[in-house]
Amino acid sequence: MTEESKPVAAIAGTLEALVGEVLAEARRQGATAAEASASVSQGLAVTVRLGVVETVEHTRDKGLGITLYFGKQSGSASTSDLRIEAVRDTVRAAASIARHTAADDCSGLADPESLAHSIPDLDLHHPWNPGADEAIEVATACEQAARAADPRIRNSEGASLSSHEGLEVYGNTNGFMGAVASTRHGLSCAVVAQDDSGMQRDYWYSVTRDASDLESRESVGRRAAERALRRLSARKLSTRQTPVLYEAPVASSLLSHFVGAVRGANLYREASFLLGQLGKTVFAPWVRLYERPHLRKALGSAPFDNEGVATRDRDLVRDGSLLGYVLDSYSARKLHMTTTGNAGGVHNLTIQPGTDDLPDLIARMHTGLLVTELIGFGVNSVTGDYSRGAAGFWVEGGQIQYPVEEITIAGNLLDMFRHMVAVGRDVDLRGNIRTGSILIENMTLAGS
């Protein structure tokens, strides 16, 4: 069996040896420090539309990235050719670049004391590798379930199944070497409902580390159909001030804006509306936001970050107060702080859920807007000003009355965070940011 045909997890030793050779070659080139990351991956993705196979895509990728340091000068290069001659050429290219760059006092490897000394098994690797015929069968059945759900499902954008397996090895000259194998499998469907009022589109998807944890093909299809059907006969609204309830799948976008505002690069560039807010109240006083990097099978789990720094549980917000930032080694040095193990992003960022489910939150809101879709991107990261197109449902008397569309919701993120009323227990686990539905006390709704 050739290296190309082996399952990706079976070649960890080969990739570790490659990274070790890269680091040794960097030393031979005169580098004072170096880091390298080698990866291989394979996958399959199929899309079926109206019962006809539209795409079948097999992928198998490999790559190597290296950064060399000559004192405080650095240079990076990458290649997809892992033959030793090509690898050595890549090292020489990085060395040449480094010698022509300006020195930066904040550049360099992560501090040795911050590196992961043990690598826990987080159960991230569950190979499936279905054949094309099996994948087509699953996608076809998913779409059929959606189209059969109701005669008003008149068209389809298709159903897709994807399966991905990857292995990444990172090492540096501070003595760190770590390998992580992982998988990610997904099933999605999008359909169009139509009646005398017009057409509406919606979708649903499931994504997991383990294919056995995916929602059934029938469930994904039916939910896509149900979500499209409930949007028929949508109305417009007049401009007003109103409470807004973000359904869990779109509520994560609010927290992604928070992550951007506490990311080190935005802070040292003074391009964040949360600049200077460390230790201050930035959310409602009951809000707690925390990272849990070591949850087994979770999509955002990682034993170490992109610099080999150990990940750990921590609170970013407690009792509404901002306790920490999202930093890699470079941004931490720029801010005269220490890395938080977030090179590459956050890990299972979670807002503490409440006890209410979505119907409870709708009843609690009594009158207002339930948002199920956001359109466009109108967020100013410096001021926190927020304006986005939206669609959803108008609520009165604690009950959904009718679907609405062609509206805009606006506010300021800091005001929105401080005026969060509740978070639901309907936590969406399909991503790296985990949240239930979020109720905001008051926002501007711009309509007709």
Quick: pLDDT tens for 313-323: 999 999 999 99
CA distance 316 to 420: 17
**Which whole number is the average pLDDT over 26-42?**
96
Centre a 10 Å sphere on the Cβ of residue 330 and count the other Cβ atoms it contains: 20
Residue with tokens 């580098």: 31
| Tally of helices (H runs) and strands (E runs) in the chain | 9, 17
Say what the pLDDT of residue 448 is: 80
What is the band of 7 on the pLDDT scale with cuts at 50, 70, 90? Answer: low
pLDDT for residue 10 is more than 90: no
CA distance 18 to 15: 5
3-state class (DSSP) for residue 174: coil
What is the band of 1 on the pLDDT scale with cuts at 50, 70, 90? Answer: very low
Alpha-carbon distances, residue 438 vs 174, 248, 281 (angstroms): 43, 7, 18
User: 123-145: per-residue pLDDT in tens?
Assistant: 999 999 899 999 999 999 999 99
Domains belonging to the chain, first-starting first, are: 3-229 (3.30.2290.10), 240-253+353-446 (no CATH)
Q: Can you give the pTM of this predicted structure?
A: 0.95
3-state class (DSSP) for residue 240: strand
* Strand partners for 385: 412
Q: Which of 440, 416, 435 is nearest to 425 (CA)?
A: 435
3-state class (DSSP) for residue 50: coil
pLDDT for residue 92 is more than 50: yes
User: 271-287: per-residue pLDDT in tens?
Assistant: 999 999 999 999 999 99
Residue with tokens 């960097």: 26
Q: Which of 380, 381, 407, 410 is nearest to 393 (CA)?
A: 407
